[in-house]
């Protein structure tokens, strides 16, 4: 069994995923562990939508409507391409930050807490032998998509985490050197 640090070192995104996704028991374990993300004042400013099965096609319809709104020439391929994006994995987890009024915890910090949970989910998925890729882009901020998913006025989408089985072959992630990103500060 790999250590947690080995899992962190080897974690990578998998843009191409296939069936099956982790079963519900595994996902519930991952979800419970993921909620331990740092959260100033314990606001729990998050919620998540699990989209699988035929619901992915309905999400694809929302993606297509968004594409149509940006497609004045009515090019059908653009809408079809957008629709297919919801079928790239057997499970899609929509991360949502639920902003709360709090003098001590600004909105940006609440966003960081919610994305911390999403990152934990991606680590848990990888540790369980599956793959994921976190996508944001235009769909995350689309009013059409947000309305269709019942995202409230005080909420934003933090991203779409696509989850499924990893491909048979994949490149290992490039090793990063911590000294390229971390340094010591010794005061003024």
Tens of pLDDT, residues 162-181: 999 998 877 788 889 999 99
Domain that holds residue 42: 4-180
Alpha-helix residue ranges (DSSP H) falling in 11-162: 24-34, 55-69, 76-84, 107-127, 138-141, 143-148
The pLDDT value given to residue 89: 98
Say if 118 falls within a structural domain: yes
Say if 185 falls within a structural domain: no
The CATH number for 77's domain is 3.40.109.10
pLDDT in tens, 43-82: 999 999 999 999 999 999 999 999 999 877 777 888 999 9
Say if 186 falls within a structural domain: no
Say if 187 falls within a structural domain: no
Say if 97 falls within a structural domain: yes
Say if 24 falls within a structural domain: yes
pLDDT in tens, 74-117: 778 889 999 999 999 999 999 999 999 999 999 999 999 999 99
The pLDDT value given to residue 116: 98
pLDDT in tens, 110-153: 999 999 999 999 999 999 999 999 999 999 999 999 999 999 99
Contact 67, 79 (CB under 8 A): yes
Environment class of 51 (CB within 10 Å of its CB; exposed 0-12, middle 13-18, buried 19+): buried
The pLDDT value given to residue 149: 99
Q: How far apart are CA 178 and CA 180, in angstroms?
A: 5
The pLDDT value given to residue 71: 78
The pLDDT value given to residue 167: 86
Task: Report the number of distinct structural domains present in the chain.
Answer: 1
């Amino acid at each position: 069994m790999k250590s947690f640090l080995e899992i962190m070192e080897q974690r990578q995104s998998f843009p191409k995923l296939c069936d099956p996704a982790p079963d519900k028991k595994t996902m519930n374990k991952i979800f419970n562990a993921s909620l331990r993300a740092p959260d100033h004042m314990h606001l729990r400013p998050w919620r998540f939508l699990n989209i699988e099965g035929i619901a992915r096609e309905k999400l694809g319809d929302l993606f297509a409507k968004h594409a149509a709104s940006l497609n004045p020439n009515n090019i059908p391929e653009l809408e079809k391409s957008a629709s297919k994006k919801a079928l790239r994995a057997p499970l899609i987890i929509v991360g949502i930050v639920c902003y709360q009024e709090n003098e001590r915890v600004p909105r940006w910090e609440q966003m960081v807490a919610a994305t911390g949970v999403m990152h934990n989910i991606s680590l848990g998925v990888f540790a369980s032998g599956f793959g994921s890729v976190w996508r944001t882009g235009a769909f995350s901020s689309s009013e059409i998509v947000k309305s269709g998913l019942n995202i409230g006025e005080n909420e934003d989408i933090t991203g779409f985490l696509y989850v499924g089985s990893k491909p048979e072959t994949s490149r290992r992630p490039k090793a990063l050197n911590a000294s390229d990103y971390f340094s010591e500060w010794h005061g003024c």
